Amino acid sequence: MVDNASLGEEHVAYQHLDFPLIKVSIVGGRPFSCGGEQLFRKKLLSARYGVQDMDGSARRIYNAALGTPEDHFVILLAHNGPTGLGSNLNDICGKDWVFGGGDHGDPDLEQAISLLKETGKSCVPLVVFGHMHKELAYRKGLRKMIVIGDDNTTYLNGAIVPRVKKLNNEQGTGNSSFMDDETPVLTPESEGTMRAFTLVEILDGRVEKITESWVSVVGDNTTLAEEQLLFKRGS
């Protein structure tokens, strides 16, 4: 498993970070993305990365993936997901704040993925992103967080918000009903919290299992409080 601790302070936007021991490469998408058809912070993207438009951004992502070792599989890591995964308000990148929904994915990310599939240069079993919150606007329900593509590429949205919740003092257990949804994100030093993790198991370049796990942290005690199976191959 590759997590934030493994990435450390590495900046992977338009770059790749290789892990030779497990033959995995992380390729970063466009930074500062807010979804949709327009580049966000266009002047900064131009000054820092030389990116002027969506086509140029797609080419940067594509070239970063081409630079990975041939025997590695690639995990694409982006702030927002690609277009083409649905336009209903509860779809993985669907607009949940406007009537009728709409596709709020990143077209440059979809273009880069299409280029990689056309050339067959890289194996991309997993595309991970966030931005589009699991809980829909106006309490309309929950978003679809996983899409399995026709080529078995798994698209995973990890935007569980808030990711850290405060436990009610009188409970101190792992049940989600004991969490205060109105509590803002807390610091890692906070006591009495529930913390969300999305865990992905990959075997031989294929996603086998995905779980949403909530860990209870009370003082020095850490326990797995809840685990929800989101995907299991063959199920």
Residues 142, 70: Cα–Cα separation, whole Å: 38
Q: Which domains does the chain have, with CATH numbers?
A: 1-159 (3.30.750), 160-235 (no CATH)
Q: What percent of the chain has pLDDT over 70?
A: 86
Amino acid 183: pLDDT: 43
**Span 24-77, pLDDT tens digits:** 999 999 998 988 888 999 899 999 999 999 999 999 999 999 999 999 999 999
pTM: 0.85
Average pLDDT for the chain: 86
Amino acid 17: pLDDT: 95
Q: Which two tokens stand for residue 44?
A: 């900064």
Q: Hey, what amino acid is at 91? A: D
The residues near 122 (Cβ < 8 Å, ≥ 6 apart) are: 65, 66, 68, 73, 74, 116
Amino acid 169: pLDDT: 53
Residue with tokens 């326990």: 223
Q: Is 172 helix (H, G, I), strand (E, B) or coil?
A: coil
Amino acid 6: pLDDT: 59
Kindly state the average pLDDT of the residues 80-101.
Answer: 93
* pLDDT higher than threshold 50 for residue 100: yes
Give the pairing type, strands 16-19 and 24-28: antiparallel
Q: What percent of the chain has pLDDT over 90?
A: 65
pLDDT band at 144 (very low <50, low <70, confident <90, very high): very high
Q: Where are the alpha helices (H) located in the chain, listed in sequence order?
A: 4-7, 42-49, 54-66, 107-119
Kindly state the average pLDDT of the residues 86-90.
Answer: 93
**Span 157-178, pLDDT tens digits:** 999 999 999 986 544 444 444 4
